[in-house]
Chain A
């Protein structure tokens, strides 16, 4: 099988006020025609990996190839084969949607007529025909992302890099974006996707690498990663710490991993949600423990991290690369993440 992307022992350190080892010996390979997900918290090194692979920055050491071409030595050739879209919709907001696509097409050295036709096609495909001749200033966040992606596709890249394509989008726009990406994959484009959302990686990627502090800490299909993790998280809220520690002991018997006590909340990953829930309630009842809250939810990136590293995902700002995403406390990010992906927009539950 042919590899569209190959990365070997890639290293990159940013010097500055504080030295940041953004990539600390990263290895992975992406098969042609598949979607590969780089999953990790902010500052894990995902964006840096994408910047190296798209020839924007040079690595300190190691090897990175796109379609067999070295990204440092054959940068010009690599640029003509790839497309890049990301969390910062890098579009000119004074230009209209059509003008933006036209600009990127021209900079890809496509003939004028071909660009104009392709723009019409892409604007239609991405549901932007009505807004095509309006300046981007008037676009919503979701529309900008779609336009950004449309511009990245103007030259029909063989390999597409999507750097957190749905971060900060509302559930509806996120769903739209997912559908668009799925459509691309059907056309045979190889996609490297970075994301902080396990749901997104699970839905789109056929192969995943979990990244932490510039290293790949786990690799596999979403199914294997989730199998290691348990498919569902059971969250039980208790009256006080006393109850919590008693519940902890009880829930250890139902979980596939050791439960995690977080204040008066006990979290445990379980394999069979409903069955485990019944068991948990029965055991709690037998011990006379009355929960204040009882929730079954999909595992989040935080849960993957907890299972893999024994600690929560830490946000670490990556040399100013991901400035507005840094979060102060990991606990609130868990809440925010599970809140942002309501069960109905999440097909993972139905599939597993």
Chain B
């Protein structure tokens, strides 16, 4: 052990931020530092990313080849075309669980406690985590697109509307991440965070038009299944990717997403501040 004392050149530390502009500059810098940290962590556990892509692949194969024969979408659309927008939304929605698990783990390991003692922006831990998850989702949608094309998915509307659909999916996933940040900060540990997340996701994913036309569901379920956020986002993506009614669904999808952001961001931030 070397304990040679060293002559101390004073480090130039940035002064405590003064003014809104200075604070904003550091808040963004801190957010990027945390985003980088989370992205590095994803690359160090490649198996996690691998298995999170295996899952959508299995859903694609299951619905295309096992259930698909029994499901007949309206207007004679090939089932795989009908299915893929649903798979996108389902994949990023399940992916949002990692936001809750990641934050619960940070809490459990004392990292968040340590962050609280640093002169960093309070917002950075949550903003950095959700940004990293957004970046991860970009990779995920590229992979899912490739899988879709491999099993016969053929968008019919052109590149720009398709990218518009992807944009809506990513934005919706980002909004969901804030909701699951709240879940993760409320859980006592990462296992609980995971268990708490699925009962929220299952009805949204499966009681929706993601895999099956809502018209095939019992009447009492159709109202919920038509207008709940996952269905609306899937419908908007279908319109943008394979045609059909588009504008009304896109507006509703953006309204849901915006509504989520407005409610869920303050909720998650409040939980972060009050959680000790």
A122-152 near B? 1/0 per residue, CB < 8 Å: 0011110000000100000000000000000
| Segment with Cβ contacts to A, from B112-120, B191-199, B200-208, B239-247 | B112-120
Does chain A have a CB within 8 A of B76?
no
Taken residue by residue from 48 to 87, chain A's Cβ proximity to chain B (1 for < 8 Å, 0 otherwise) reads as 0001001111000000000000000000110110101010
Q: Which residues of A contact B33 (CB under 8 A)?
A: 103, 106-107
Least distance between B6 CB and chain A CB atoms (Å): 7
Q: Cβ of A155: which chain B residues have Cβ within 8 Å of it?
A: 11, 13
Stretch at the interface among A92-100, A222-230, A248-256, A307-315: A92-100
By beta carbon, the residue of chain A nearest B26 is A109
Number of chain B interface residues as a range: 35 or more
Point out the residue from B6, B14, B40, B114 that lies within 8 Å of A125, measured CB to CB: B6
State whether the Cβ of A176 lies closer than 8 Å to any Cβ in chain B: yes
A94 touches B41 (CB 8 A): yes
- Indicate if the CB atoms of B118 and A56 lie closer than 8 Å: no
Once bound together, how far apart are the Cα atoms of A191 and B16, in whole Å? 23
Among A137-187, those with CB < 8 Å from B are 155-156, 176, 179-180, 182-183, 186-187
Compute how far the CA of A155 lies from the CA of B15 in the bound complex, rounded to whole angstroms. Answer: 12
Give the distance in Å from the alpha carbon of A114 to the alpha carbon of B8 in the complex.
13
The answer to whether A108 has its CB under 8 Å from any CB of chain B is yes
Q: Is A111 an interface residue (CB 8 A)?
A: yes
Residue in chain A with minimal CB distance to B42: A94
Q: Is the CB of B3 within 8 A of A182?
A: yes
Q: Which residue of A lies closest to B109 (CB)?
A: A90
Contacts of A294 in B (CB 8 A): none
A192 to B43, CA, bound (A): 37
> B119 to A108, Cβ gap below 8 A?
yes
Contact across chains for A107 and B118 when beta carbons are under 8 A apart: yes
Whether B45 sits at the interface, judged by CB under 8 Å, is yes
Q: Quick check: B5 and A186 within 8 Å, CB to CB?
A: yes
Q: Which of A249-282 contact B (CB under 8 A)?
A: none
Asked whether any CB of chain B lies closer than 8 Å to the CB of A11, the reply is no
- Interface on chain B toward A: helix, strand, loop, or mixed SS? loop
A79 vs B40: C-alpha distance when bound (angstroms): 26
Q: Closest B-chain residue to A106, C-beta based?
A: B33
Decide: B3 and A109 in contact? CB cutoff 8 A. no
- The minimal Cβ–Cβ distance linking A249 to chain B, given in whole angstroms, is 49
A56 to B84, CA, bound (A): 46
Kindly list chain A residues whose C-beta atoms are within 8 Å of the C-beta of B116.
Answer: 54-56
Option from B44, B110, B118 in Cβ contact (under 8 Å) with A108: B118
Asked if B14 and A109 make an inter-chain contact with CB atoms under 8 angstroms apart, the answer reads yes
Cross-chain contact A156 with B113 (CB below 8 angstroms): no
Given known contacts A90-B109, A103-B37, A124 and B119 CB-to-CB distance under 8 angstroms: no
Q: Give every chain B residue within 8 A of A80 (Cβ-Cβ).
A: 13, 16, 119
Query: How far, in whole Å, are A88 and B114 apart by their CA atoms in the complex?
Result: 10
Contact among B4, B10, B29 with A156 in the assembled complex (CB-CB below 8 Å) = B10
Residues of A within 8 A of B3 (CB): 125, 179-180, 182-183
B163 at interface (Cβ–Cβ under 8 A)?
Answer: no
Q: Does A121 contact B (CB under 8 A)?
A: yes
Contact assessment for B113 and A56 in the assembled complex, using a CB-CB cutoff below 8 Å = yes
Query: Which residues of B92-148 are within 8 A (CB) of A?
Result: 109-111, 113-120, 124
Q: B40 touching A95 by the CB < 8 A rule?
A: yes
Cβ of B257 to closest chain A Cβ, rounded Å:
30
State A57–B274 Cα separation when bound (angstroms): 10
Known: A55-B116, A84-B114. A118 touches B16 (CB 8 A): no
State whether A156 and B117 are in contact (beta carbons under 8 Å apart), knowing that A125-B6, A180-B3, A182-B3 are contacts in the complex. Answer: no
Taking the nearest CB of chain A, how far is it from the CB of B205, in angstroms?
A: 29
Contact (Cβ within 8 A) A84 B37: no
Contact in complex: A95, B41 (CB < 8 Å): yes
Tell me, rounded to whole Å, the shortest Cβ–Cβ distance linking A253 to chain B.
Answer: 46
Residues on A with beta carbons closer than 8 Å to the beta carbon of B4: 125, 183
In whole angstroms, how far apart are the Cα atoms of A186 and B120 in the complex? 29
Q: A7: CB under 8 A from chain B? A: no
Q: Max chain A CB contacts within 10 Å: which of B3, B26, B36, B114? A: B114
A84: which B residues are within 8 A, CB to CB?
Answer: 114, 117
Closest to A93 in B: B109
Determine whether B2 belongs to the interface, using a CB cutoff of 8 Å to chain A. Answer: yes
Q: Is the CB of A187 within 8 A of B5?
A: yes
Contacts of A126 in B (CB 8 A): 1
B14 proximity list for chain A (CB < 8 A): 109-110
Q: Does A104 contact B (CB under 8 A)?
A: yes
When the two chains form their complex, are residues B111 and A124 in contact, meaning their CB atoms are under 8 A apart? no
- Chain B residues with CB below 8 A from A182, complex form: 3
B12 within 8 A of A: yes
A106 touches B29 (CB 8 A): yes
B13, A110: Cβ atoms closer than 8 Å: yes
CA distance A103 to B37 in the complex (A): 7
- Whether B109 and A88, one on each chain, are in contact in the complex, defined by CB atoms closer than 8 angstroms, is yes
The residue that B12 contacts in the complex, of A106, A111, A121, with Cβ under 8 A, is A111
Q: A57 and B11 in contact (CB under 8 A), knowing A94-B41, A186-B5?
A: no
Task: Please list 16 pairs of residues, one from A and one from B, whose beta carbons are closer than 8 Å in the complex, sorted by A's number.
Answer: A56-B116, A76-B119, A79-B118, A79-B119, A88-B109, A92-B37, A92-B111, A94-B45, A106-B33, A107-B30, A108-B119, A108-B120, A109-B29, A110-B11, A183-B3, A187-B5
Beyond A55-B116, A107-B119, A155-B13, 17 additional contacts (C-beta under 8 Å) are A51-B113, A54-B117, A79-B119, A80-B13, A90-B109, A91-B111, A92-B37, A94-B40, A99-B37, A106-B29, A106-B30, A107-B115, A108-B118, A121-B6, A124-B2, A125-B3, A135-B44
Task: Please give the residue numbers on chain B whose beta carbons come within 8 Å of chain A beta carbons, in ascending order.
Answer: 1-6, 8, 10-14, 16, 26, 29-30, 33, 36-37, 40-41, 44-45, 109-111, 113-120, 124, 276
